[in-house]
Structure formats: C-alpha cells, structure tokens
Amino acid sequence: MRFIQSFLLGLTTTLAVLLVMGGFWSGSSTALAATVTVQMGTPAGMLVFEPAEIAIAPGDTVHYEVAGVPPHNVVFDPGNSAGDVSGLSHPAFAMSGGFDISFPADATPGSYSYYCEPHRGAGMIGKITVQG
C-alpha cells in the first residue's frame, strides 16, 4: 500500500511539473528582451558609431558607450525613421560612460536613423533596423 501511495504522489508531482513547463513552451510565452552595445567613437579617435548598423527586436535596448573623444549624443531623425522617435533620442552629451535607449515593445518595424549632433557633419551616423 505504501508503494502505491508513493508512486501516485510521484506521478502527480511529475504531471504538475510537466503542465507548468508546458506553459513555458507554448506560444503564449514572450521572448526576453536583449541589449545590444554600440560604441560612440573609437579608441583611435574615429568619429563613428561602431557598429554603424544593428538589428534589434521590438522591446530591445541599445546601450551606447563612449569609446572615443567625447562629447557624444544620439538624436533620432524623424524624417528617416519608420516610426515615432519622440521618446528615443538622448540629446544630453555624454562625456564618459554610457546610456541606454529602450525601444518599446510595439515599435514599428523598419529603419531608424540617428546621428551624433556635434559630429554629424563628420559622418557620425547610425541606423537601427527594428525587425518585425
């Protein structure tokens, strides 16, 4: 009798775990957001974003890190962007360290162009493609 009780308890526990794990593998689960790093400038003094073009998913974050001669910022160009960029720009100048820009989970798929305001004329521009 004790063997049957132990077997049923083990079977019930196993079924409960499988049901919970099944919820994780179902289509209703959401993917974890990622963070992609972009350097602002290079240690050699180049005025570029490195990499200049990246692809992300809606909900992802882009971490901008000062790697070259500051100051740097990130200003999104509404005329060359697929969706609303009003809350994406980081107009404050970073002298060191970095900052994050998170794209909303409902970001419109497509290309988003941006630039560093003081170095735009030198070609410090970048592009983010939000995948659909």
Is 119 considered catalytic here? Answer: yes
Which amino acid does the sequence have at 88?
L
Residue 124 falls in the annotated catalytic set: yes
Which one is catalytic: 40, 46, 63, 72?
72
**3-state percent helix, strand, coil for the chain, nearest multiple of 5:** 25, 40, 40
From the candidates 1, 21, 40, 119, give the one annotated as an active-site residue: 119
Q: Is 90 a catalytic residue?
A: no
With beta carbons less than 8 A apart as the criterion, state whether 48 and 124 touch. yes
Q: Which of 40, 63, 90, 124 is catalytic?
A: 124
Residues designated as active site: 72, 116, 119, 124
